[in-house]
Structure 1
Amino acid sequence: MLPRQVRRAVRLTREADHRAFGTVSLSEIVQGVTRAVSLITVNFLLVGASVPGTFPGGCARRCR
């Protein structure tokens, strides 16, 4: 039921204003990619901070 409603909403939106639909779709895709990259970056930094000696100024100096 939900996929049918989403499909219908997308079709109606595209028919109403094709240019705005493309703009909003592109911005949502870019926003999703940006969020994914920032989550991966934060995860990388947190892992690096938790391993002694791998992160500048990290736990290796303060945890001794």
Structure 2
Amino acid sequence: MRLTDCFAELMAYVAYFLRNKDQNNLPFSEVQSDIKRLLTASEEVMRQEGISADDYNEARFAIC
């Protein structure tokens, strides 16, 4: 697994949200909650795949 795979779901969510922002009237709190959940899931993938925390944090900085 590549480091970018940790963030695939998050990137897909944000891309979908931006593409459909005019049709989605989601409250900020819901979007924020979804993004936090996806970041937590990406941390779990990092741990499961043995990716170093430093590499993960640098990639997360670029994503966020």
Q: Which fold has the larger relative contact order, with Cα–Cα distance below 8 Å and residues 6 or more apart in sequence?
A: 2
The TM tier, using the shorter chain, reads 0.3 to 0.5
Name which one, 1 or 2, has greater alpha-carbon Rg.
1
